[in-house]
Structure 1
Amino acid sequence: MTTGRIRLQVASMATQPEIGQFLVGFFLRIHGVTGVQVRPATGSVVVTYDPALCTQEIVLNALRSRVVQRHALEGEVRPPTETDDAISYPYLASEVIHTVAGRARFALPVVKEREDLAGVLAHFLRGQAGVQHVRLSPLSASVIVEFDADIWDAPSLLTLMRAYDPDQTDIEQWEAFEAAQPSEPGDLAARSRREVALAGSALALTILGGPLVAPLAYGLLLGSSLSLYRKAYHSLVEERRLTIDTLDATAITLLAATGVVWQAALLNLLLSSGDWIRTSTQERARRALSDVLDYMSDLAWVERDGQIVSIPARDVAIGETIFVFPGERIPVDGVVLSGTALVDQHALTGESMPVEKTRKGEVFAATVVSEGELQVRATRIGEDTQVAQIVHLVQNAPVFDTRAQDYAERWANRLVPYSFLGAGVLALMGNIPQAITLLVIDYAAGFRVSAPTAIMSTITKAARQGILIRGGRHVEQLAEVDALVFDKTGTLTVGCPDVVGAIVLSPAHTLDEIMALAAAAESFLTHPVAEAVVKAASDRGLAIPQRTDFEYQIGQGVVATIDERQVLVGSRRFLQAQGVSFNENAQNSLRQIEEGAASPLCIAVDGVLAGLLGLADPIRPEAAWVIKKLREQGIKEVVMLTGDRAPVAEAVARTVGIERVVAEVFPADKLAAVKALQEQGYTVAVVGDGINDSPALAQADVGIAVNGGTALAQETADVVILQGDLHKLLEAFAIARQGVGLIRQNWSIIRVPNTIGLGLAFVGLLNPVTASLISDGAALVAGANSLRPLMSPSAGDAGKSARKDNRP
């Protein structure tokens, strides 16, 4: 397989080796990167990648991110020199993610860091003939473009975006983008409330007042309709198409022009009420999540200069020792230094019972110490805490991005020209009231209210249970999953392997020396195997030497230079690829470890096999029960993929009830296995937690990271389950299916009465008032129905029943 390679110069790495450690983790978060080699002495970093999954453009674009700037690397990371493959990379869209006729989603990395520039691009695209709609999605770093398929296709749009230079944008385009920015949810809710009040006042004046108050009623009606007229103008003049907004604005204008102000006010009141339900639901849901961030205003007890002092939680620094007492919220993410306590994590994970925390345990901001006291070393503070990131994710979830809403709005908008045509014919025949009645019938308004409300309610309910769903489209896909691919380590197993045995194979080395060298090579890596090796060496009281140059190859092993010796740590296949031979004694030792249900980790020094470590990872006690329930709930295919040896993998699969096992696979093999299932027609979800799962998580229809996952797994996954408890999978599926069922139910609530009303309007059996009550009344019922997830029991049905159904 061809391997791409790029070299970067980081001058400060020679004096600040921690920068090298940071860059290893940073580059390994990029999908497609297969290895990172750091050479502090020369200040260079060599990144290797799979050209099928990654490009030099992607690597260089990643260097623009805020995380690199935070580490003071901007400006001192030098791109490839002339000795490398120098490139010119696109500033904006990098690839086509998905496309169907007339619609495409493009990766837009810049939108996460410079939404202003992405917005200018969006404005530029909207000005192109044949481009019908453009929507930015900062959370997924993408842009969705709807277009005339006779004029554009996805590749040509990608070429257009890549060629566009935002630095040449004139001030008018910048101003146009700024003016087009949507308001915050709270602003929208306040505006909706004002519009409801104005429309209600106009209706009251026209019913209760006399001719003298008619001008005031017209003024109130105009004030309550301004946002509708703006939307109608935008669709008619800027997008050059007829939409439901145009239809509604026309109906209100005709009613007012014919003197039936009270009917115009009633129609606008119903429309405004629907918008108010949607925006206020979003505001309440997001405010409820934001409330958990109140801990930042708490006081924290911190040890400074030998004294325990009280300071605002926001002023705590990383590395400081925090003292937390009963009834207090923990103000930071951190590690317990001493003490024992019961911690209520309900706000973060949805767990109903407090969790015991002791020395070396991990604790999280916004959780509460119920009993006991803790001393905690702060590892993440402020906006970097897990709870702050959760709130940010949910608040920015693209609730409008659903296939159901896209379909319903397209379907409803296609009816608009025919409604205008029919109304025009009736108007020419002199039947103005009947023409207005036809214009009042509105399918899209109800779905525009109910679909985002249902999605926001569903995402909020899931977040309360420690399940993060990144957007509406992921809710839909999760509900449709019928094939599930599990990683083994950290997913079906606890993810905390222990070194349970060791064999020395070279007389030139002792057991302690082998373990110390392995720990040195694996140090600073976050993979569970690396942590187990370092822990085993520390528990033996061994001094772990410093490594200099090192290279980590995802899912395979580590090459490190330690005391001027080359040390290889990894799988048998990895060492063999490096030229290490395994004699008969070594092969017998490998079998001995595997027969004990452990996984062998091989260590070689200067090209000679020195020893083996046996690692065992306990199976999660609930795994078998959960997989059985998943099958009962419609999951047709369950597969386990692992880089582990076949005997170990098969033993785990038998225990948990999985029949299909693929062992000894690399990350690229996992990705290929997911593609194969998709080609068979399955909607595939991948459940994993580590760096080596990220390619498969990205390829899957739904990527699910469990136990919080690594930072890369969280970035790649569509769904993040904060606990390691696999029962949460059942809750995630139950919540998603409930949300999708609600959307379909709402579509029926909206479609049936509107269709009946449309038929009655055509034959003259409906007046504008009745039509408005039918159409907008259905929208209000659907909007209220969308709130049900927030009112139903806090856990999914599967999760609740699981507690009573003899689950482990």
Structure 2
Amino acid sequence: MRELHDMKLYGYAIIAIGILGIIFHSLGLEFLDSYLLILIITILVVSLIFEILRRTISVNEAIVRTLMIFVGTVLYWFNLHLEGMLLLTVYGAAEILESVIERYAERRLKKLLEIIPRTVKVVKEGKVNIVDVNDVNEGDIVIVGRGERIPVDGVILDGEALIDESTITGEPRPKEIKLYDEVLAGGLVLTGAVKVKAIKPGSQSLVARTVELVEKYKKKKATIESTIQKFSRIYLSLMLVASAIAWIIIGYYKALIFIAVGCPSAFLVTIPATLLASVSVYSRKGIIVKGTKPIESASKTNVIAFDKTGTITLGRLELERIVLLRDSVSMDDILRYAASLEVYSSHPVAKAIIREAKKRNVKLLSASEVNEKPALGVEGKVLGKHIFIGKVSDSTKKKLNILAEELEGKVITELRIDGEPYAILIFSDILDPKSKAVIEQLKNMKFKVIMITGDKKVNAEKIAKQLGIDEYYAELKPEEKVRIIEKIKENRRNRVIMVGDGINDAPALAAANLGIAIGSLEAVGEAGDIVISRGSIDLVPFIVKFAKYSMRKVYENIAIILAAKLAAIVLSVIGFLPLWAAVALGDDGGALASLINIANILKSAYRS
């Protein structure tokens, strides 16, 4: 039933009757005008009652339709049948155009789901079975060949391929994937073939959860929407007063101009449509906007605060450097020994070593008698030698005194062969490669950029210097981050964005004027006002720029409507325009022009 409401079937009926009425009038059959106008008013009344009973109409939609019924009835009462018919016909056209735009935006969003294959090739007990994608469980292994789309979020277990993820991430360049790389459902395999281990059930892919979250939050309205609704009620009252005064001074016919042209339906239709179109554009880029309010908030911001770990850094340990303590081995030898043991561990250090070995194409060796000792390290035999990688011994620490300043705030492990120290491995949380460009962009946009982190001061200082951030705060607890945000907001001119990973940053995200959470939807789906599900800050400048662009379009549409109404009233009062032309230009003409403007936003955004 809701779908029938969204299609605005009554609008099509009104347009058909209106067109027939105009044709009959031009053929000299003016006597039919009154009957056709009554028929249109009846359709509006019946549709309004039907939708109220079915609870498929919002309060504002009901108000707008009631206003149009009232105006149409007044025009009928004063025998202005053609004008009434034209007014309601253009109103029907505006309603349909709004519906088409909203449904188009919704279809573009839901079309993301259509790229996911409905059937999947799953390997079980050595056999390949064809199953529904919703029946794929976490841990299942699926086969994807050339020309096929990846059906689940997962990790590559076998094979290499070149894939196109532009539909999901917006990244136009194809991506090379190999062993242990993570992939998203919907990626198109251009060359090669792979086996993918599902890391989520088929029904819970990033694409599916993006659509679900946008649907959940899209009714959260911007302040300007509420303002427009309040303004429309005041505006209508003023128009009724103006029409009463005009009736006394210049006659009832001129007074009807204020009622017909002054109807606020154009505002109530176009402003929400503009912002919903923008939400749709964000969604196509993997940005979940919780309603339309965050768009308005983003457009007014001038200060941005970043968390460090997992936001402007990668949020994981990376092998920064290997320091050889003996000349008889190479760095690749050390990495080979270390990775051959660490492949059996799930420790963050182990993962960093495995990533580096894969990056350098270091082949692993067979290991035996592997034993992981909590808080100490991993030991085992490789090529008959006893290898240990883990906690640095006291004797080795003395040798590292010369590096003390350089090593502060970093994770250090030692690799020993047959009990003798051969190398130390230095790990750190490194910058996201995109961070520097993002910070520079924001500074060029006149943003004040600060960093607030719970990490040690020495690490925060190093990152701040690398990025050119002058103001930073370190060693903070979550509640201390909130206090800093609130301190910045004490200056009423400051509007603050907080960007964080959505876990320990949740209080700060809530305290800011706009919270942007970065990371997987499981971790940050309920945090912040906006979620960047790709887990990278490179979209932050776009969020702000497009918000400003969207709000500019909102005010542009308000100006178009006001200008159209003012021109129609003035030209009609001085006798230059008949009432029917004033209606066409003023109320619904302005609405149609604004809706066409919205359609251009969608078209240009999707094309780009």
Q: Indicate the TM-score class for this superposition, using the shorter chain for normalisation.
A: 0.7 to 0.9
Whole-Å separation in 2 of the counterparts to 1:401 and 1:759: 34
Maintained 8 Å contact 1:302/1:322: yes
Maintained 8 Å contact 1:316/1:381: yes
Distance 1:756-1:586 versus aligned 2 partners, 3 A rule: farther
Q: What does residue range 656-805 of structure 1 map to in structure 2 within 5 Å?
A: 656-681=467-492, 682-706=494-518, 708-709=519-520, 711-759=522-570, 767-775=578-586, 776-792=588-604, 794=606
Whole-Å separation in 2 of the counterparts to 1:544 and 1:686: 40
The one-letter amino acid paired with 2:580 is: V
Hey, what does 1:168 align to over in structure 2? Answer: none
Maintained 8 Å contact 1:224/1:268: no
Q: Encode CA deviations 1:208-241: one digit per residue, 9 max, x unaligned.
A: 472675575245413542378659999xxx999x
The one-letter amino acid paired with 2:36 is: A
Whole-Å separation in 2 of the counterparts to 1:466 and 1:424: 52
Hey, what does 2:271 align to over in structure 1? Answer: 451
Which SS does the other structure have where 1:631 is aligned? helix
Distance 1:348-1:693 versus aligned 2 partners, 3 A rule: same
Maintained 8 Å contact 1:328/1:369: yes
Aligned counterpart for 1:630 among listed residues 442, 462, 477: 442
Distance 1:629-1:425 versus aligned 2 partners, 3 A rule: closer
Distance 1:755-1:429 versus aligned 2 partners, 3 A rule: closer
Whole-Å separation in 2 of the counterparts to 1:751 and 1:255: 22
The one-letter amino acid paired with 2:585 is: I
Moved more, 357-366 or 482-491: 357-366
TM-score, normalized by length of structure 1? Answer: 0.60
Q: What does residue range 150-299 of structure 1 map to in structure 2 within 5 Å?
A: 183-184=2-3, 187-208=6-27, 210=29, 213=32, 217-218=36-37, 220-226=39-45, 245-296=65-116, 298-299=118-119
Distance 1:207-1:588 versus aligned 2 partners, 3 A rule: farther
Q: Please tell me whether residue 309 in structure 1 is matched to residue 129 in structure 2.
A: yes
Whole-Å separation in 2 of the counterparts to 1:659 and 1:735: 27
TM-score, normalized by length of structure 2? Answer: 0.79
Whole-Å separation in 1 of the counterparts to 2:371 and 2:271: 59
Distance 1:765-1:216 versus aligned 2 partners, 3 A rule: closer
Hey, what does 2:380 align to over in structure 1? Answer: none
Maintained 8 Å contact 2:485/2:508: yes
Hey, what does 1:68 align to over in structure 2? Answer: none
Distance 1:394-1:419 versus aligned 2 partners, 3 A rule: same
Q: What does residue range 593-604 of structure 1 map to in structure 2 within 5 Å?
A: 595-596=406-407, 598-599=409-410
Maintained 8 Å contact 2:156/2:181: yes
Hey, what does 1:370 align to over in structure 2? Answer: 190
Compare relative contact order (CA 8 Å, sep 6+) and give the higher one, 1 or 2. Answer: 2
Q: Encode CA deviations 1:465-510: one digit per residue, 9 max, x unaligned.
A: 23332221111111111001111112211222136699xxxxxxxx
Whole-Å separation in 2 of the counterparts to 1:614 and 1:374: 34
Hey, what does 1:327 align to over in structure 2? Answer: 147
The one-letter amino acid paired with 1:726 is: I
Deviation at 1:747, TM superposition (A): 1.1
Which SS does the other structure have where 2:531 is aligned? strand
Distance 1:286-1:185 versus aligned 2 partners, 3 A rule: farther
Please report the RMSD computed on the Cα atoms of aligned residues, expressed in angstroms.
Answer: 3.9
Whole-Å separation in 2 of the counterparts to 1:641 and 1:719: 19
Distance 1:220-1:590 versus aligned 2 partners, 3 A rule: farther
Aligned counterpart for 2:293 among listed residues 473, 484, 498: 473
Deviation at 1:186, TM superposition (A): 7.0
Distance 1:206-1:764 versus aligned 2 partners, 3 A rule: closer
Deviation at 1:206, TM superposition (A): 4.4
Maintained 8 Å contact 1:704/1:721: yes
Distance 1:713-1:613 versus aligned 2 partners, 3 A rule: farther
Q: Encode CA deviations 1:356-389: one digit per residue, 9 max, x unaligned.
A: 2222222111221111111111122344211011
Greater fraction helix: 2
Which SS does the other structure have where 1:723 is aligned? coil
Hey, what does 1:554 align to over in structure 2? Answer: none
Maintained 8 Å contact 2:409/2:458: no
Whole-Å separation in 2 of the counterparts to 1:283 and 1:244: 20
The one-letter amino acid paired with 2:537 is: L
Distance 1:218-1:267 versus aligned 2 partners, 3 A rule: closer
Whole-Å separation in 1 of the counterparts to 2:245 and 2:268: 28
The one-letter amino acid paired with 1:353 is: R
Which SS does the other structure have where 2:172 is aligned? coil
Hey, what does 1:621 align to over in structure 2? Answer: 433
Which SS does the other structure have where 1:617 is aligned? strand
Hey, what does 1:409 align to over in structure 2? Answer: 229
The one-letter amino acid paired with 1:371 is: T
The one-letter amino acid paired with 1:187 is: D
Distance 1:629-1:407 versus aligned 2 partners, 3 A rule: same
Which SS does the other structure have where 1:340 is aligned? strand
Which SS does the other structure have where 1:497 is aligned? strand
The one-letter amino acid paired with 2:600 is: R
Whole-Å separation in 2 of the counterparts to 1:297 and 1:500: 40
The one-letter amino acid paired with 1:414 is: I
Distance 1:444-1:381 versus aligned 2 partners, 3 A rule: farther
Which SS does the other structure have where 2:479 is aligned? helix
Which SS does the other structure have where 1:380 is aligned? coil
Maintained 8 Å contact 2:210/2:286: no
Whole-Å separation in 1 of the counterparts to 2:401 and 2:19: 79
Aligned-residue identity in percent: 24
Whole-Å separation in 1 of the counterparts to 2:507 and 2:401: 29
Distance 1:199-1:211 versus aligned 2 partners, 3 A rule: closer
Deviation at 1:671, TM superposition (A): 1.6
Distance 1:203-1:589 versus aligned 2 partners, 3 A rule: farther
Aligned counterpart for 2:315 among listed residues 462, 480, 495: 495
Maintained 8 Å contact 2:71/2:260: yes
Whole-Å separation in 2 of the counterparts to 1:200 and 1:597: 79
The one-letter amino acid paired with 2:486 is: K
